[in-house]
Structure 1
Amino acid sequence: MAAGAVLVAACQSETEPARTTDPVEPVSAAEATLSGEACPDIGDRAYFFWMQPRSAEPGDKIALFPYWTDMPGAYNDLPPGCLDELGVYPEGAATFSREEDGLAIATVSEDVEAGTRVRLDGTYRGHGLSGQVEVFRAADNPLVGTWRQDGENCPANSAIQELVFTGGGDFSVTWTPFEVYKDYWGTYTYDAETRAIHLDVESGNQIPEDIVPDGTVVLSDDALSFETLSFGTPRQAEGVCMGSFPK
């Protein structure tokens, strides 16, 4: 049987030319998966991924949803599959992939050092858009994120609804969130060994006079709290809230 099989193959090779299949070029994740009518023409607008820098650790995956706006605080979404010409700076700081629906995913490279600011770029129908990413490592700075204060035992309206620490060293305090409003903001420093924290208030819409900018961070599996440091008393409250920020 083996000899017969070889003979048949030899006869076929004499009567039929060998068939070759051209390799299929893989679709680049940096290229759009949708075009034409699937990608509405919005015209000359401001295009973006997000307004404020995002914080991310090496290895984190970030979904790239494109938006456009023509007024402050307005986010109008666009078809993710229309996002084209993806890029990153510094080069190699992230890689790209696509989900089945065309949504682009950026993965922060494992070797990016903490403190690096990464810019993710793309285009929508030829219009450029981008988003900044501040790389950090939670082992060195566990404060990064958005926190909400437990106001159960605090004066009315004194609990902070949004306390934000970024991987780039910025912070903001907001008692009553509304769109992009913040009460005050600035920069902070944190020492992981001593757990000491210092706030440097830069500006704001409401800056309490009784802020205590220095203190010590107390972080447990359940909550974040501060010794000595106080974010101050908002004008709508009769006293300061010293409650913790549950995870």
Structure 2
Amino acid sequence: MLLMRKVFGQAAVLCLLLLGHASCFGVSISSLTAEQRDALLINDFYPQYACPGDTLKLEIKAVTSPYFFPMAETSVDVRTEWQVVPETGITIDQKRGQLVVGRDVQDGTLFTISAKIRKKGNVRDNTLYVYTKKANPFAGYWEEEGGNIEELIIKPDRTFSVTAIPFEIRKDYWGTVSFDLQSGSITFTAEHGNTVPKDIDLNGSFRFDDEGRLVLEGIYFGTLIPGDSFKQKYIFKKTGR
């Protein structure tokens, strides 16, 4: 039994090493199909977010499962020349594939990241949205304490989604959020969704308590699950950036 554990343990370590090697160096671009080479990504399918002073690793990614969403992606090993517009406030290390956001870049600044590869293929541009936690303290993943909303996502670009019972990528509804840090007012605007309750009331106020929790008052995200009751106060704890 001890010998079997040792053998299985060594096999597990070898698998991890092989996976790490693949993750670090990526697949050869020559191993991709023409369809994959024509739809390469920078980092992933979604926009990139960073704060002033942050360092962002840049990678070329290929879609490996185009028939499922979110699409699975893998790193591609190919020589790349990175470009960012506008150039002001951004430093790029071409050899390491790293982008550094200047500490003086203002909240809400939007950059376009482009890539030229030395092989046949098409790389889709991506965007970089710079934000500050002072200007947007709401950005992150939140979960209601003692309630039914398991996921409230507020992105740095001031978009949001709310979901009672998360399942894969499904959201109940989503839209934009606006707020006034001085007056403490906040408004969520539902724009689209899979489930948009008719009884939503999304204008209210906010505050952060001593534990850093987000307290919303005068807001009701609607009856998202059967038996849910009307309320005008939520307390959310942060679960991720």
Interval of TM-score (by shorter of Structure 1 and Structure 2) = 0.7 to 0.9
* Among 182, 193, 205, the residue aligned to 1:193: 182
Q: Compared with structure 1, are the counterparts of its residues 60 and 35 closer, same or farther at alpha carbon in structure 2 (3 Å cutoff)? A: closer
Q: 5+ unaligned residues in a row in structure 1: which ranges?
A: 1-32
The answer on 1:213 being equivalent to 2:208 is no
CA distance in 2, matches of 1:36, 1:237: 50
After superposition, the C-alpha distances for 1:12-71 in whole angstroms (9 at most, x for unaligned) are: xxxxxxxxxxxxxxxxxxxxx979957633422332223333332211222224333323
* Among 83, 95, 110, the residue aligned to 1:117: 110
Q: Compared with structure 1, are the counterparts of its residues 226 and 37 closer, same or farther at alpha carbon in structure 2 (3 Å cutoff)? A: closer
Q: Which structure: greater helix fraction?
A: 2
**Residue of structure 1 in register with 2:220 after alignment:** 230
TM-aligned CA deviation for residue 112 of structure 1: 2.2
User: Contact conserved, 2:27 with 2:75, CA < 8 A, in 1?
Assistant: no
User: Contact conserved, 1:161 with 1:177, CA < 8 A, in 2?
Assistant: yes
Q: 5+ unaligned residues in a row in structure 2: which ranges?
A: 1-23
Q: Output aligned runs, 1:38-187, within 5 Å.
A: 40-45=31-36, 46-48=39-41, 49-69=43-63, 70-71=66-67, 72-79=69-76, 81-82=77-78, 84-97=80-93, 104-123=97-116, 125=119, 126-151=121-146, 154=147, 158=148, 160-187=149-176
TM-aligned CA deviation for residue 85 of structure 1: 1.5
Equivalent residue letter for 2:135: D
Equivalent residue letter for 2:190: V
CA RMSD across the alignment: 2.8
For normalisation by structure 1, the TM-score amounts to: 0.71
Larger Rg: 1
Secondary structure, aligned partner of 1:44: helix
For normalisation by structure 2, the TM-score amounts to: 0.73
Equivalent residue letter for 1:60: D
**Residue of structure 2 in register with 1:8 after alignment:** none
CA distance in 1, matches of 2:190, 2:93: 39
TM-aligned CA deviation for residue 219 of structure 1: 1.1
